[in-house]
């Protein structure tokens, strides 16, 4: 009996040790992710030269690594027109990085109004937040209404971070059909949440439709895809 109990205890001990070791690896990995985001934020803030506090990032909002890449793209490419699908911290980052004109579409009055207040606090001009409910199209999907795109043409930088994936399957895929004709020849497309299969498919579709461009996937917290001129 004692021998069997000793064997059982040793077996449980090995199992517990294995589980603790596994949790240690997971914790180490999670700490690595947090460190990477802090590192990205430390590089981003000095470049923006903010006069007010930066709103929270991560979660529903874009992560610092995505925002740092966005800022770098804006500063290097100097877009005349940025079109965003989904407003928020990214709108502020684009503006403070030198974008001349920004049009940001948002289906949420709550989030859209919050972005307007944030831009006002930071004394940002040249950014327009267009708030419109999503429209149900003949294909049965919901996407931004044509009214929201009035006067939009010559997009130099397209930032895709909306509508939410919960809206419908392939929620962001209609951007290809509706916005591809509005892009300039040297436009850059950047997608957040590119670790998700729907966003990967959309990024690949944009790259296929833009043969003079290349597709780059960045290993960010939520995955970032960039389609840029070769």
Residue 122 vs residue 52, higher pLDDT:
122
pTM as predicted: 0.84
Q: 67: Cβ–Cβ under 8 A, 6 or more apart, which residues?
A: 40, 44, 57, 89, 90, 93
Give pLDDT tens digits for 160-184. Answer: 999 998 888 899 999 999 999 999 9
Contacts of 45 (CB under 8 A, 6+ apart): 54
Which residue in 201, 199, 206, 207 sits closest to 224, CA to CA?
A: 199
Going from N- to C-terminal start, the domains of the chain cover: 51-229
Overall CATH class of domain 51-229: alpha beta
Give the pLDDT confidence of 107-157 residue by residue, as tens digits. 999 999 999 999 999 999 999 999 999 999 998 999 999 999 999 999 999
What is the 8-class DSSP label of residue 181? G
Q: Report the DSSP pairing between strands 155-160 and 183-192.
A: parallel
Q: What angle do CA 189, 96, 126 make, to 5 degrees?
A: 80
pLDDT tens by residue, 58-84: 556 678 899 999 999 999 999 999 999
């Amino acid at each position: 009996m004692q021998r069997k109990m000793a064997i059982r205890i040793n077996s449980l001990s090995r199992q517990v040790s294995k589980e603790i070791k596994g949790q240690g690896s997971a914790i180490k990995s999670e700490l690595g992710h947090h460190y990477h985001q802090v590192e990205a934020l430390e590089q981003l803030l000095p470049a923006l030269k903010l006069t007010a506090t930066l709103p929270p990032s991560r979660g529903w909002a874009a992560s610092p690594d995505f925002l740092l890449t966005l800022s770098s793209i804006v500063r290097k490419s100097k877009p005349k027109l940025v079109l965003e699908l989904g407003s928020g911290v990214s709108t502020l980052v684009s503006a403070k990085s030198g974008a001349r004109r920004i049009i940001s579409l948002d289906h949420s009055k709550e989030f859209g109004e919050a972005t307007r207040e944030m831009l006002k606090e930071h004394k940002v001009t040249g950014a327009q937040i267009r708030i419109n409910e999503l429209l149900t199209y003949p294909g049965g999907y919901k996407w931004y209404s044509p009214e929201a795109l009035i006067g939009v043409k010559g997009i130099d930088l397209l930032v895709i971070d909306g509508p939410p994936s919960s809206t419908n399957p392939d929620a962001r895929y209609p951007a290809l059909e509706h916005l591809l004709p509005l892009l300039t020849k040297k436009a850059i497309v950047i997608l957040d949440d590119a670790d998700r299969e729907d966003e990967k498919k959309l990024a690949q579709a944009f790259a296929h439709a833009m043969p003079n461009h290349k597709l780059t996937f960045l290993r960010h917290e939520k995955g970032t895809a960039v389609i840029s001129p070769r």
